[in-house]
A and B are shown apart, each in its own frame.
Chain A
Amino acid sequence: MTPLRISIAAAVAAVILLLVILELIRSRRLQERYALLWLLTGLVIFVLSAWRGLLGRLSDLVGIAYPPSALFILAAFFVLLVLLHYSTVISKLSDQNRVLAQRLALLERRLEEAREGGPEHL
């Protein structure tokens, strides 16, 4: 069984994480679509730290002798998941950024041509 103090500390940390995420969404510094994975992380950690029997059973299932390590492994797994998600988001953003730069450069060139050739070329 997880020591009670570890459970309490983990549950408090999870609740703080959840509150910070909700406040970030509320103040529009975090979009809902990027918050969902974070919220899931906070919820899972909270449930497993509050429901100590479940954590114990999960640890037994995968052969972890000390249940609190299962909590940390799970937290690490979620952090990896969030990072992977961010890598895909960054890839998409850099792709879109390239397209934007190209469109802007082409537009600028067209504006130049229009200025040289008179307004009828616009």
Chain B
Amino acid sequence: MATRYETLQASHVAGQRRLRTLAIVPAHNEEGSVGSVLRELRSLEPGFEIVVIDDGSTDRTAAIAEADGVAVIRLPFNLGIGGAVQTGYQYARDNGFDVAVQVDGDGQHDPREIQRLLEPLLEGRADMVVGTRFAAGGGYRGTRLRRIGIHIFAAVVSMLVRARVTDTTSGFRAVNRKTLRLFAADYPHDYPEVEATVLAVRHGLRMVEVPVQMRVRETGSSSITALRSVYYMVKVLLALFIGLFRRYSTPLEEP
């Protein structure tokens, strides 16, 4: 049976070349989960090429990914999620991909939901699709501090982009060629998701949220602790505030 994606793709690019789709898997010390993430991705989304960005892991993350046969980019040292994901977007840009999906190496993003992320892109309704845990149909349980932070960001970002955004910290996203070119050229540091959303919208790109289920981390621990959460909030709010006074001029069209 043809999946919804294949049907859409067939109708969308009839007579054109096949869309090239890439899954970007950032992983930092995820030897316990990266193997199953890759297996799931390959069986559920065989149309996707996969690149693993090993963000300076000190465990067997890169070795496991290489044994799996996917492309692996080893960063010489830990750049943080922002630098790792941007490397993935640069790979996508340089290798002519039309669509890129971010899937965390820790297993919290369920590859079964990728189809739902792709639909708005393939229908031409969006340039960036974010899987949200909060809109109707999604489910999320986290610590209270994290939930409060996520809601504050949602309120601020909704105001900045003049649209209702419920989950700004979700890293489960799909983007088209235009957006991946922007992110390859300009992507925030440290904790990038919130700023990246505003960055894209300020460049005139259309963002759509899609409710998804996320899973509890399989192994390892989240890099966000209580003290870091405070630093994170202050830093991101500062960046958002200053972003209001920036002029954005990254070119989005192909050279």
- Residues of A at the B interface (CB closer than 8 Å) are 22, 25-26, 28, 31-33, 35-36, 39, 95-96, 99-100, 103
CB closest residue in chain B, given A92: B77
What string of 1s and 0s marks CB contacts (under 8 Å) between B85-111 and chain A? Answer: 000000000000000000000000000
A99 & B77 in contact (Cβ 8 Å cutoff): yes
Q: For A33, list chain B residues within 8 Å (CB).
A: 189-190, 235
CB closest residue in chain B, given A95: B77
Extra contacts, 5 of them, besides A32-B242, A39-B238, A95-B77 (Cβ < 8 A), are A22-B242, A26-B246, A28-B246, A31-B189, A36-B235
In the assembled complex, 5 residue pairs joining A and B whose CB atoms fall closer than 8 Å, in A order, are A26-B242, A32-B242, A33-B190, A96-B76, A99-B77
In the bound assembly, the distance between CA atoms of A46 and B209 in angstroms comes to: 42
A96 & B235 in contact (Cβ 8 Å cutoff): no
- Residues of B at the A interface (CB closer than 8 Å) are 76-77, 189-190, 231, 234-235, 238-239, 242, 245-246
Nearest-neighbour CB distance to chain B for A122, whole angstroms, equals 15
In the bound assembly, the distance between CA atoms of A95 and B76 in angstroms comes to: 11
In the bound assembly, the distance between CA atoms of A69 and B213 in angstroms comes to: 58
Q: For A103, list chain B residues within 8 Å (CB).
A: 76
Q: For A22, list chain B residues within 8 Å (CB).
A: 242
B238 & A36 in contact (Cβ 8 Å cutoff): yes
Nearest-neighbour CB distance to chain B for A85, whole angstroms, equals 13
Q: For A95, list chain B residues within 8 Å (CB).
A: 77
Q: For A32, list chain B residues within 8 Å (CB).
A: 189, 235, 238-239, 242
In the bound assembly, the distance between CA atoms of A100 and B76 in angstroms comes to: 7
B238 & A35 in contact (Cβ 8 Å cutoff): yes
A96 & B77 in contact (Cβ 8 Å cutoff): yes
Nearest-neighbour CB distance to chain A for B77, whole angstroms, equals 5
In the bound assembly, the distance between CA atoms of A15 and B235 in angstroms comes to: 20
In the bound assembly, the distance between CA atoms of A96 and B77 in angstroms comes to: 7
Given contacts A35-B238, A36-B234, A36-B238, contact A99 B76 (CB under 8 A): yes
Nearest-neighbour CB distance to chain B for A97, whole angstroms, equals 10
